Amino acid sequence: MSKLYSEYTKLKCSNKDKLYLFKNGIFYIALQDDAKKLSQIFDFKITNLNENVVKCGFPLKRLDHYINLLKQNEIDFEIIDNNYR
What is the spatial distance between Cα 73 and Cα 76, in angstroms, rounded to a whole number? 9
85 part of a folded domain: no
What is the spatial distance between Cα 36 and Cα 43, in angstroms, rounded to a whole number? 10
Range of the domain at 56: 3-13+25-80
19 part of a folded domain: no
We report the CATH number of the domain holding residue 39 as 3.40.1170.10
Give the residue among 7, 37, 3, 5 at the shortest CA–CA distance from 19.
37
Q: What is the pLDDT of residues 4-26, one digit of tens each?
A: 899 999 999 999 999 999 999 99
Which pLDDT band holds residue 3 (cuts at 50, 70, 90)? confident
What was the pLDDT predicted at 49? 87
33 part of a folded domain: yes
pLDDT at 83 over 90: no
Contact 26, 60 (CB under 8 A): yes
Query: Which segments of 1-85 does DSSP mark as H helices, in order?
Result: 3-14, 32-42, 63-72
Q: What is the pLDDT of residues 32-74, one digit of tens each?
A: 999 999 999 999 999 998 889 999 999 999 999 999 999 999 9
Q: Structurally, how many domains does the chain consist of?
A: 1
What was the pLDDT predicted at 17? 95
pTM summary value: 0.91
